[in-house]
Amino acid sequence: MNNELFEKLVDLYAGRDLTSELDEQMEAAAAVDTGLGHEMTSLRNTVDLLHSDPGPIYTEESYQRILMKLYARGAAIQPKAPSPIHLQYHLPIQG
Amino acid sequence: MPNDALQDSLAEKRWLTALAEGDPSALGGIYELYGERIFRYTFRMLGNRTDAEDATAETFLRVVRRSAELRADGAFRTWLFRIARNLCIDKLRQHKLMELPPDAQYSGAEERTTLRVTVHQALNDLPLEYREPLIYCDLEEMSAKEAADILKISVPALKSRLYRGRRALRDKLGSAMERTL
């Protein structure tokens, strides 16, 4: 098997883009070739790791701050719900 | 089409029509639909919450300013991500000029495990050419076609960058991943 085709198959295996039949054939080949096995496993683990990333959390505070930025720049937009109390500005109490 | 996707598609059509007609409430509707996705994308590109919030707000402001460019051909999401991408690239250039680390706040309380921090650092260290396909296809789980459209490259070129990016990330992670998995 030429090198380029071998690399392509490993790439497709890592992204789970092979048919189940080819997937099994690759795993059978990896069982007798430790180098290939390591290549396949490490690359698939990398892809799985990315897929399982929960990503940044879109908090209520971020949602509200973006709305405020839009509003401050003149967009005709209003928060759907009142801002949480900790995000509201308070005027100092006058004596 | 799954029910949620159909609902989103109908809502998108409704808000885009409203935007074209100059309805001031249209921006709010579009932000409700896409705000979270654009925020998550800009956070992943820029690596910190403050810049991501700025870039998200600016993206939606540009939608209004450039609404005349909108076409009813179903490519709104691609167009929206392109706007966000251009803003992120401008911000990344500014960071480079100011020598700010792009992940200044990324490794904060939200990134609890050591491996996650390592992954994000390794991802941020990759050249943008490799990082972007990983963000679109492996993190945002877009199709190769959609990612290629956003980047204005062919699908084979996108896949080539994606595969190289995965290998480069794997090599950067190296022993950190083997220790944890």
pLDDT, tens digit, for every residue of B48-105? 899 999 999 999 999 988 887 776 556 888 999 999 999 999 998 887 656 555 554 4
d(CA B60, nearest CA chain A) in Å: 8
**Per-residue burial over A15-48, b = 16 or more CB atoms within 10 Å of its CB, e = otherwise:** beebeeeeeeebeeebeeeeebeebbbbbbbbbe
Residue B108 pLDDT class (50, 70, 90 cuts):
very low
Q: Do B115 and A49 touch (CB under 8 A)?
A: yes
Number of domains, chain A: 2
Place of tokens 């109390």: A85
Return contacts of B135-144, CB within 8 angstroms, 24+ apart. B135/B41, B135/B44, B135/B45, B137/B162, B138/A47, B138/A50, B138/A51, B138/B162, B138/B166, B139/A50, B139/A53, B139/A55, B139/B44, B140/B37, B140/B40, B140/B41, B140/B44, B141/A51
Q: What percent of chain B stands above pLDDT 90?
A: 50
Does A62 map to a domain? Answer: yes
> Which residue is associated with the tokens 């945002």?
B140
Contact B99, B105 (CB under 8 A): no
pLDDT of residue B163: 96
Whole-number pLDDT of residue B25: 82
- B2-16: average pLDDT: 77
Show the domain range for A25. 3-51
Ramachandran sector of residue B152 (left: φ over 0; alpha: ψ -120 to 50; beta: rest): left
| Assigned domain for A95 exists | no
Same domain? For A42 and A60 the reply is no
The domains of chain B, with CATH numbers, are: 1-105 (1.10.1740.10), 107-181 (1.10.10.10)
Whether residues A15 and A33 fall in one domain: yes
- A94 part of a folded domain: no
State residue A81's pLDDT score.
Answer: 54
pLDDT at position B19 is: 83
Q: ipTM score of the complex?
A: 0.79
Q: Say what the pLDDT of residue B110 is.
A: 47
The mean pLDDT value of chain A amounts to: 84
Q: How confident is the model at residue B109 (pLDDT cuts 50, 70, 90)?
A: very low
| Residue A36 located in a structural domain | yes
- Chain A residues touching B52 at Cβ < 8 A: 56, 62
> Phi/psi of residue A18, each to 5°?
-90, 160
Which of B5, B65, B16, B60 lies closest to B35, judged by CA? B60
Flag whether A91 is in a domain.
no
The alpha-carbon gap from B74 to the nearest alpha carbon of chain A, in Å, equals 24
pLDDT value of position A55: 86
Return the axis-axis angle of helices B144-151 and B155-180, rounded to nearest 10°.
110
Same domain (yes/no): A72, A44: no
Q: What is the pLDDT of residues B131-143, one digit of tens each?
A: 999 999 999 989 9
| A63-79 CB burial, b ≥16 within 10 A, e <16 | bbbbbbbbeeeebebee
Please report the pLDDT score of residue A79 as a whole number. 54
Domain check: are A30 and A12 in the same one? yes
> What is the per-residue pLDDT across A45-68, written as a single tens digit (0 to 9) for each?
999 999 998 889 999 999 999 999
> Is A33 inside any structural domain?
yes
Residues A47 and A13 in one domain: yes
CB of B21 within 8 Å of a chain A CB? The answer is no
**Are residues A69 and A39 part of one domain?**
no
Q: Is residue A7 domain-shared with residue A46, that is, in the same domain?
A: yes
Taken as a whole, chain A contains a residue count of: 95
The answer to whether position A23 is within a domain reads: yes
In this structure, the answer to whether residues A31 and A15 fall within a common structural domain is yes
